[in-house]
Amino acid sequence: MKFLDDANFGKIQESLKNQDYEAAFSGAQTLKGVTANLGLNPINAAASELAELLRGKAPKDVDAAKTEAVFAELAEAYGRIRNILEVNRPQA
């Protein structure tokens, strides 16, 4: 349930919006590691692909259309998993 408190998805989203690809890469790498440890494979796969698209790229070299498409996949998987966790969150 601690995954619900993880801020990396928001960091990626905001960084891509601002075309801060280095910060987006960092967020994707961190989210990739977190989701690998938790076995959240759909998010992990999309975060991994996004990280590879951004790895070591200057802003002018980033394929914005491909990055946007992969982020959409990440957002879909993230939303789906987050919703499952929210629905099953233990009541305090």
Q: List the domain range (segments joined by +) for residue 35.
A: 2-87
In single-letter form, the type of residue at position 16 comes to L
With respect to residue 92, please indicate whether it lies within any of the assigned structural domains: no
pLDDT in tens, 37-82: 999 999 999 999 999 999 999 999 999 999 999 999 999 999 999 9
Structure confidence at residue 20 (pLDDT): 96
Sequence length of the chain is 92
**Do the beta carbons of residue 16 and residue 74 sit within 8 Å?**
no
With respect to residue 70, please indicate whether it lies within any of the assigned structural domains: yes
Structure confidence at residue 21 (pLDDT): 96
> What is the count of structural domains for the chain?
1
Structure confidence at residue 91 (pLDDT): 83
pTM > 0.75: yes or no? yes
Structure confidence at residue 1 (pLDDT): 82
- Quote the CA–CA distance of 23 and 9 in Å, as a whole number: 11
